[in-house]
Amino acid sequence: MFNQLKARFGSGLAVGVIGMIAIWIIAMVVLPQLLMVDYSFRPNLLPADIGGPKDVYSLVNYQTLFTNKIHLEIFFKTIWSSVLVTGLTLIVSYPIAFYLAKVATPQKAALCLVLLIIPFWINEILRTFAWYIILAYKGPLNALLLWLGFIHRPIRFLSGDGGVLIGMVYAYILFMIFPIYNAIESLDTNQIKAARNLGAGWIRTHWRVVIPHAKPGIATGCIMTFMLAAGSYAVPSILGSPGSRWFTQIIYNWFFEGGDWNQGAAYAFLLLVICIGFIALVMRVFKVGLGDIAK
């Protein structure tokens, strides 16, 4: 990277760019994570006791999760729901990405991309509140379904995890569409035509030609969507019911309501470990490396 920057901009500017990147990574990523890890192994003490004999490293904060059945259940439910959100987003995004990359004309593709991007100019919280209105018991969606005769009484979309799943799929769909779109766009259209001319159906063509080529994009989209879903706070807080709490809400409560930053740091670090494990799993399943994902 340094040699490429040096060849293009000169050694002085290359050093400056690399230096700024290093400062940003260290100050905004590495140090906060190290501080969180340090907090997670230490007890929650009064300021006068910090640095004293009670201030020792232990696994007590981590043990709390495994002894609290409610928190543990919410933890696993959050991970499973994040995987489900990732799968649903992939199912919705793949046909759209393929249409934009290989079916639509440049004018139609540009129009569709603009229509996809414009709603995301609005703050995520406002978009989530819009879904709260749409999915409300007396909201427009229930009114439309009643008018069409599909249902005989309103459905409580916000009484479980359904509203949260819908809101998250909508909130993170672009993070799935664009990586897949970029991957499919680089595929030679002649390969698709050749597969079709040799008698392969559309399903077989996608399975044997398109999807293998788009694996880096699919892996990137799955990783980004899962991490955003697992770490989401606004969507489950607004669209979730009391019985559909997200693990991030528990972390928030430890930090800002319980005042126990050490316990909150332990919970946050466990969630981070799970996210890293998911990244490794996706890379292994799709047989891609960091270099492939970075493209």
Q: What pLDDT is stored for residue 10 in this prediction?
A: 65
Q: What pLDDT is stored for residue 72 in this prediction?
A: 92
Q: How far apart are CA 13 and CA 203, in angstroms?
A: 50
Q: What pLDDT is stored for residue 3 in this prediction?
A: 63
Domains of the chain in sequence order: 68-294 (1.10.3720.10)
The answer to whether 167 and 237 are in contact (CB under 8 A) is no
Q: What pLDDT is stored for residue 13 in this prediction?
A: 73
Residue 52 has pLDDT above 60, yes or no: yes
pLDDT by residue (tens digit) across 273-289?
A: 999 999 899 888 888 77
Residue 251 has pLDDT above 90, yes or no: yes
Residue 232 exposure: Cα atoms within 13 Å on the Cβ side: 32
Q: How far apart are CA 189 and CA 184, in angstroms?
A: 9
Q: What percent of the chain has pLDDT over 90?
A: 38
CA 122 and chain centroid, separation? 18
Angle at 170 between CA 168 and CA 173, to 5 degrees: 100
Burial (CB count within 10 angstroms: exposed 0-12, middle 13-18, buried 19+), residue 22: exposed
Helices 162-171 and 124-134: angle between axes, nearest 10 degrees: 140
Helices (H), the chain: 2-9, 11-25, 31-40, 60-67, 69-98, 106-117, 124-134, 140-148, 162-171, 174-185, 189-197, 202-205, 211-230, 234-239, 247-252, 261-286, 290-294
pLDDT by residue (tens digit) across 12-37?
A: 676 777 888 889 889 888 898 898 99
Q: Please state the length of the chain.
A: 295
The answer to whether 231 and 271 are in contact (CB under 8 A) is yes
Q: What is each CA distance from 259 to 58, 64, 114, 159, 234, in whole angstroms?
A: 19, 16, 44, 29, 20
Query: Which amino acid is it at 138?
Result: K
The answer to whether 171 and 88 are in contact (CB under 8 A) is no
Q: What pLDDT is stored for residue 227 in this prediction?
A: 93
Mean of the pLDDT values across residues 221-243? 89
Q: How far apart are CA 241 and CA 182, in angstroms?
A: 37
Q: pLDDT band for position 5 (50/70/90)?
A: low
CA 166 and chain centroid, separation? 14
The mean of the pLDDT values for the chain is 87
